[in-house]
Structure 1
Amino acid sequence: MNKLNPFPFVVHFWIALLPILFFTSCVGSTYNPEFERVVFDGARALELIQMQMAFGDRIPGSEAHAMVGDWIVQELQDHGWRVEEQFFPYREFQGRNIIGMGGPTEGEWVIFGTHYDTRPISDRDEDNPWTPVLGANDGGSGVAVLLELARVLQNEVLDRPVWLVFFDLEDSGGIDGMEWIVGSTFFVEHLQEHPSEAIIVDMVGDADQQLYYENNSDPFLMEEIWEVAAEMGYSSFIPIGKHSMLDDHIAFLRLGIPAIDIIDFDYPYWHTTQDTLDKVSAESLEQVGRTLQSWLLSN
């Protein structure tokens, strides 16, 4: 992600068309009379960040990047989500978006999205600008939140389709003329139908969490979710506009799809070698995850 600087976005690609709306759900399909709601666990989400970092630098084109993609697919399938993969070429890279689908096959549907790639250089690090970003928060936290949501939602009887989308090639913008948000732009441009809303989570694990309104986000959807957080007592959701971001939500907004970006951009370790596991916390991850779980199940 980056501070927003709107520009026309063109990606040349081979079309890998994604089936839309016609799928069989593996999540929330049967009623279980002994069902007891599973609650989002921040400690487990933190472990999911650690698992990602164990693969190494998740830079597009690297072995670690391919391995973490395979791992995401397996995690989704293990929790009963049907998985589609969407491949697309961009420059010398083979991009790969990963989509987990659950709930019924008809009705208004919602997307929760994040990026899973990490930045190849730490260009905001004065001492180590050419070292890859480790991506505990930027690249790791959003994936952890979505995968933990996959676990807690697997036994829910969802009343509408839910997609968990992991975007590729979000975070290499500005390097050798590369664009930002490549994967999400490809994804949105190939939707046959539009979701009712899209919620992007990015850099949400900061131990000193401050989640301000993002200025480009849909104000009504943003207010809904911040109100849920307030009802749950989470003061880190601050209902004041502060930053204007170029993040994956912009791809949806460009096509008129209501979308928001939940992001803590007051993170001093952004695009540095210090974006490490000790800078994120289970509590921060849990507050975001439980807010989204509560919002989804009450709407």
Structure 2
Amino acid sequence: MAVKNESHVLVVGIDGVRYDSLMSAATPALDQIARNGFLLPVHVHRKNATISGPVWATVATGVYADRHNVTGNRVHPLELAAYQDFTAVLRAARPESRTMIAASWFPVAAATACGPLFSSRGWVPEEDPEEANDGGSWVSADDAVADYAAGRLEREDLAASFVYFGEADVEAHNNGTGIGYISAIQRCDSRLKRLLEAIESRPRRDAEFWTVIVVTDHGHVDAGGHGGETEAERTAWIAACGERVPRDVVAVDHADIFSQVLATFGVAAGDTDGLVFGARRDPQEQPATTAAPR
């Protein structure tokens, strides 16, 4: 018997992972994705500030801040309602599709502050880690997200999913980009490994085509913090692999994730700022207007 959804996409967002710090960390799960596809630096588009809210909104909707109008992390703009996230667009086109969103930073999936950035909303931990906003609270929250998401990925026929981890970003804010930051990045990679293992343990895995995309939203200055125009802040990255991911990708953008996810299912992306992977030939290099970081 064939599976209900032959194609599946998992997008994993790991907040605030500086590119050169990633290159210094031991990340076997991400390395596996890069070997089977690509891992490329991404210059945060000039229309987006180097802040979580604007960039994750672009990942969700495929448009930049001049359209979705998420310019910070505190206000949910009316304009965002015009743009559905990629899981919502997929369900509208293919009502039989099941999707998942799980996040430790509540605005990704819940109606708080600038959220929900994903219009479908989703699962968040019982306790908001921003209340304590220390290493322990974010480790617990990210671990809870990994538990929840891995369980559903293993058991359910999910077409498209978005899973978010926030520990590394908060570690940089609190303590800079030193050894503790590298350790936080490595713990996030271990959570990514759990998600990949859940996919591999699916009973009909051999009959399924899986695309996995991993992305960060911005970098950090050495002392921790972002929102400015330094290369360390403005350089993000995207990694991806899968049967439907081209191997000759030379440039990608946060907005492209929306288009790529929908193209996997043969669904038109509509009027977006993104392109499918492989179609973009030049990275964006213009500076954006700065705003206060979280």
User: TM-score when scaled to structure 1?
Assistant: 0.33
Point out which structure has higher relative CO (alpha carbons under 8 A, 6+ apart).
2
Larger strand proportion of the pair:
1
- In terms of fraction of residues, the more helix-rich structure is 2
TM-score (norm 2): 0.33
